[in-house]
């Protein structure tokens, strides 16, 4: 357990190679993808530096966040939180990458307590302008600049702004950051997920008037928007 984050152990392994920026090859030919983080695959800060290459030949412990977490993605890769033994302790690779500024917390962590732990590591690197945080193209985008957000369509982004209104339409809740739905940025939440967001302390109806930060894949239909399917995608920065 790291802080309030609890893990379920999948098993041991040995890192035998690197597949891509966030996937390692394990003994027996298995591939393990680092869950819960996003690592740039293009641009000036692409990749995870020397962290992953330094793990080749090392013993590893494969864990997941919560026993209900998915073990594999659709390509058959193990989805893991990767740990390597150190003298008297263990090194959590995702946390290490975030603290070095080589990664950003993804839109799906699987547990809000674990998300807080990872977001705290990310915040340290962002404050120190380490790694990706030294490059404006990876920084936090402004919700009141929808054209810039729209330019990130199909890519992971972090967007921050003040919520102007919260409205429902059919099975969807719209968290609006502007008045013009055809142009301005919004966050969508499926009505069926409302109870889960409320239980996690981010009830959609209570977001109005608050400064929030949301992360996810930018989509566009009218104005740009991000679909929030998990409460940890939304950070409330300002309370009413």
The predicted pLDDT at position 50 comes to 81
**4: pLDDT confidence band, cut at 50, 70 and 90?**
confident
Q: What is the pTM for the complete model shown?
A: 0.89
Domain around 146: 140-236
- Arithmetic mean of pLDDT, 119-132: 94
Q: Give the rounded percent of residues in the chain with a pLDDT score beyond 90.
A: 72
Rounded alpha-carbon distances, angstroms, from residue 20 to 144, 167, 230 = 35, 41, 26
Where among 133, 167, 199 does a domain terminate? Answer: 133
- pLDDT for 158: 97
220 and 161 share one domain: yes
Rounded percentage of the chain residues whose pLDDT exceeds 70: 92
108 and 11 fall within a common domain: yes
| pLDDT exceeds 60 at position 194 | yes
pLDDT tens string 33-77:
999 999 987 655 555 568 899 999 999 999 998 755 558 888 888
Domain boundary pick from 108, 133, 158: 133
User: Residue 167: which pLDDT band, with cuts at 50, 70 and 90?
Assistant: very high
Q: How many domains does the chain have?
A: 2
| Average pLDDT value over all residues in the chain | 90
Which among 198, 199, 216 is positioned nearest to 207, based on CA atoms?
198
> What pLDDT does 32 receive?
94
pLDDT one-digit tens code per residue, 16-27: 999 988 999 999
Report the CATH number at residue 231: 2.40.50.140
Q: Do 122 and 27 belong to one domain?
A: yes
Residues 26 and 108 placed together within one structural domain of the fold? yes
Count Cβ neighbours within 10 Å for each residue of 16-28 and write b for 16 or more, e otherwise: bebeebbbbbbee
């Amino acid at each position: 357990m790291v802080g309030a984050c609890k893990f379920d152990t999948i098993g041991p392994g040995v890192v035998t190679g690197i597949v891509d920026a966030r996937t390692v090859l394990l003994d027996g030919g298995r591939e393990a993808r680092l869950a819960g983080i996003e690592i740039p695959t293009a641009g000036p800060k692409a990749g995870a530096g020397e962290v992953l290459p330094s793990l080749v030949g090392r013993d590893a412990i494969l864990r997941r966040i919560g026993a209900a977490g998915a073990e594999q993605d659709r390509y058959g890769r193990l989805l893991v939180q990767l740990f390597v033994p150190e003298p008297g302790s263990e090194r959590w690779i995702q946390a290490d990458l975030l603290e070095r500024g080589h990664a950003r917390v993804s839109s799906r962590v699987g547990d809000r307590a674990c998300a807080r732990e990872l977001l705290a590591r990310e915040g340290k690197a962002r404050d120190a302008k380490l790694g990706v945080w030294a490059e404006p193209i990876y920084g936090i985008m402004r919700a009141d600049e929808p054209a810039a957000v729209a330019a990130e369509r199909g890519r992971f982004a972090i967007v921050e702004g003040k919520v102007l209104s919260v409205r429902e339409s059919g099975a969807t809740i719209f968290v609006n950051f502007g008045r013009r739905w055809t142009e301005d940025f919004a966050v969508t939440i499926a009505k069926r997920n409302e109870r889960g967001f409320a239980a996690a302390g981010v009830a959609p109806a209570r977001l109005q008037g608050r400064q929030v930060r949301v992360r996810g894949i930018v989509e566009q239909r009218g104005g740009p928007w991000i679909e929030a399917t998990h409460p940890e995608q939304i950070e409330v920065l300002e309370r009413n």
